[in-house]
Structure 1
């Protein structure tokens, strides 16, 4: 008698882990990265919601705003999102120069060492309660999250080819989800004994683990490039420092991915902001609202990891990226239609869970497999533009759009959101069409999970 399907899938997961050193290191890498980020995220959110405006903005800004006749605290989120977009845009040429002029073995560690150095600087600022630390920290955490995760998935596309990515990306995503669950628990239990400032050093420790994983995965990336006859990432990529922007404009797939990202951020931003307004109305007490949001986070992470372990791999291997992109897009469209009719807190929570879980468990792994089939300049430079500049442009656009729509009530916000959800669905369709023109890269020779270890000489290369 055959075991149940869910036990068979767990058995395949255990077999993949037992046979695959790169999968182990990739899991540890993504777990450490998201765990370190989610240790920081509550600190960031607390800063953004702080009643002490001097903790968020410098005193000079506060005085200037009052002289101009308004209070900065009335526009905190809008200003923080605007600042994040501006910084992200300014950093694109810097990142492009780093990727163009230095080989992978240099720029990957440099990115994470830079973030570690910044965290040590913020530790000093928080320890001394420096004025204006909140805005700077909020923007930095947003930049860190997008750039660090983008670099991670770009590197994974160097380590795993398309066929292997379909098999393991769901598992790797599950490792990140576990990190997203553990990080807030660490913050919750250690913020009392350690204090806010010292929590930043805990995140430093997780980023150090990421550096170790990069070193361990590098030989596997070199092997994959040799087997497929690709230009080695151990050489500087070259090209323009703004090549990423040009590639997104020129290539149909990258344009489609940018559209998908923009409208995907839009549906999430409108829902997130309106959910906060509805929660304030129906759950005015701190305890009730905290319980409401924590229940949503628990449901999102639970549903995400179940889908990642039991469905994502099967969908990608059997049907490709189409269902992983279309299922979340259709679910969001249906959700917004229901919310336009009845914006009740329970329904908002259900749509939020479906939206975020669908993004983390299906849409994200599906999009990332596509980057295994493009050239390295698109993989690193163009991907960074889509994941950072386009992402934050969406944030900026829709946080201000919500500010205008919110005055007319939740039903108007969600009705407008139907149009945004249609844009998201159209973007998913465009990506599915454009990716058909890509080469369907297979795996030459043996599966990397079944190959013998790399000789020591190759490991030292």
Structure 2
């Protein structure tokens, strides 16, 4: 009975927030539809990445290329996929930079989601006809989709919300995404046997269409906020160069440290994810037992994330700012890695995995995104997107190969190096907090932030 008032209080605060701010409902629906549409397809990606059928995953020409050189493509499956993903990110970054530089928000935002919808229709045809190599194409596509679509979402949220509002509402918006992340796999489990993988593409496309509806409804609130606060309008092209995002990261200390935080945050997750797979193979050789282990982790991550988003994130950001939301998880992960280096047991790996993933979704991500409400549009649409795509995948690529090198020395070596990576992650979080304090304050600094770009 002691938990009932707290739960009622959380629901009551959410209802009050919806009444106070009409854009919150549309932001809530937007992120829910976006992550639900993604998580409908995520199990398909995981199945493709773990597939033992190399001919279904890779195109025949690539299989022949590696075979001629005596390389077992199956042994480097994930490394090849992650390397190709990074190269695609590099190629797409200037395209995205050109789009946001030359077209106003009302054009490029629907265009991004429209592109993904059209390609989903293409994948429907590929999976329906069983084209060889469809697995690799889909794995690469959905990874790009996840990073770009989510990066665009948070950039747009910084157009809609001020810093004070973001601290108050981003926890609720993040919770909507978590609910979508829970519902998506449930839909996949319920539908895949009945309609097949190909038709799941159409289900996801339907959710993306709803995203476009939500962003069009939210656009007028962004316009109103920009007019009221005399900010640079998103209804005109942003201008600048297509590589401005990467140049801003090189030039601005805050963006550089956000990039550092991103790289080592990815490193923490990638080393843990890959070593966890090796440990599970050792301790849970039965596929059913391994599946139950992974299912338990996913359930714990989603439940803990939702609880933190509803009960802690809003209060923490509103009262204390970004410092505790970035630093507390960073030091918890550092402690977890130090314990794993001493005793790499499956249960402890699961606990650290839950802490790492849930803290990223519930605290780290909302805290980082509130920073972009206080800077110029070019920072969030170009530099922020570059960090979330090219920098992110560069870190992923680096650490997936790092794990490959370390894995031969055993789990203790992996987690020992991981402890150093976690320490670098904590240091990056501390520096981000310090640089963010130099930004204009939340009450009157937004106009200054626009000029800073």
- Paired with 1:9 and 1:121, the residues of 2 have a C-alpha distance of 42
Structure 2: state its 5+ residue gaps: 446-453
Mapping 1:73-92, distance limit 5 Å: 73-92=74-93
TM-fit CA distance, 1:443: 7.9
Mapping 1:13-52, distance limit 5 Å: 13-52=14-53
Range 66-75 or range 191-200, more displaced: 66-75
- Three-state SS of the structure 1 residue aligned to 2:237 is coil
- Paired with 2:229 and 2:163, the residues of 1 have a C-alpha distance of 11
Q: Which residue of 2 is the match for residue 404 of structure 1?
A: 405
Q: What's the CA shift string for 1:315-350, capped at 9, x where partnerless?
A: 001100000000110111000000001000000000
Mapping 1:187-266, distance limit 5 Å: 187-266=188-267
Q: Which residue of 1 is the match for residue 393 of structure 2?
A: 392
Q: Which residue of 2 is the match for residue 382 of structure 1?
A: 383
Is the 1:161–1:443 contact (alpha carbons within 8 Å) kept by the matching residues of 2? no
TM-fit CA distance, 1:10: 2.7
Mapping 1:54-65, distance limit 5 Å: 54-65=55-66
- Paired with 1:290 and 1:117, the residues of 2 have a C-alpha distance of 33
Q: Which residue of 1 is the match for residue 451 of structure 2?
A: none
TM-fit CA distance, 1:49: 0.9
Q: Which residue of 1 is the match for residue 449 of structure 2?
A: none
1:129 correspondence with 2:127? no
Q: Which residue of 2 is the match for residue 114 of structure 1?
A: 115
- Paired with 1:357 and 1:384, the residues of 2 have a C-alpha distance of 22
- Three-state SS of the structure 2 residue aligned to 1:124 is helix
- Three-state SS of the structure 2 residue aligned to 1:195 is helix
- Paired with 2:110 and 2:189, the residues of 1 have a C-alpha distance of 30
Q: What's the CA shift string for 1:195-246, capped at 9, x where partnerless?
A: 0111110000000000000110000000111121111100000000100000
- Paired with 1:6 and 1:358, the residues of 2 have a C-alpha distance of 21
TM-score, normalised with respect to structure 2: 0.96
Q: What's the CA shift string for 1:87-133, capped at 9, x where partnerless?
A: 00110000000000000000000000000011111111111111111
Mapping 1:269-284, distance limit 5 Å: 269-284=270-285
TM-fit CA distance, 1:136: 1.1
- Paired with 1:6 and 1:43, the residues of 2 have a C-alpha distance of 35
Q: Which residue of 2 is the match for residue 359 of structure 1?
A: 360
TM-fit CA distance, 1:287: 0.7
TM-score, normalised with respect to structure 1: 0.95
- Paired with 1:4 and 1:87, the residues of 2 have a C-alpha distance of 50
TM-fit CA distance, 1:310: 0.3
- Three-state SS of the structure 1 residue aligned to 2:344 is coil
Is the 1:42–1:184 contact (alpha carbons within 8 Å) kept by the matching residues of 2? yes
Q: Which residue of 2 is the match for residue 304 of structure 1?
A: 305
Range 55-64 or range 287-296, more displaced: 55-64
- Paired with 2:155 and 2:141, the residues of 1 have a C-alpha distance of 21
- Paired with 2:444 and 2:281, the residues of 1 have a C-alpha distance of 52
Structure 1: state its 5+ residue gaps: 445-461
Mapping 1:287-298, distance limit 5 Å: 287-298=288-299
Is the 1:164–1:443 contact (alpha carbons within 8 Å) kept by the matching residues of 2? no
Q: Which residue of 1 is the match for residue 448 of structure 2?
A: none
TM-fit CA distance, 1:5: 4.7
Q: What's the CA shift string for 1:160-208, capped at 9, x where partnerless?
A: 0000000000000000000000000000110000001111100000000
Runs of 4+ in 1 over 6 A off after TM superposition: none
- Paired with 1:9 and 1:42, the residues of 2 have a C-alpha distance of 31
Is the 1:163–1:443 contact (alpha carbons within 8 Å) kept by the matching residues of 2? no
- Paired with 1:5 and 1:61, the residues of 2 have a C-alpha distance of 56
- Paired with 1:304 and 1:332, the residues of 2 have a C-alpha distance of 15
- Paired with 1:92 and 1:440, the residues of 2 have a C-alpha distance of 31
1:350 correspondence with 2:351? yes
TM-fit CA distance, 1:11: 1.5
- Paired with 2:323 and 2:163, the residues of 1 have a C-alpha distance of 15
- Paired with 2:67 and 2:10, the residues of 1 have a C-alpha distance of 60
CA RMSD of aligned residues (A): 1.1
Is the 1:82–1:396 contact (alpha carbons within 8 Å) kept by the matching residues of 2? yes
Mapping 1:98-177, distance limit 5 Å: 98-177=99-178
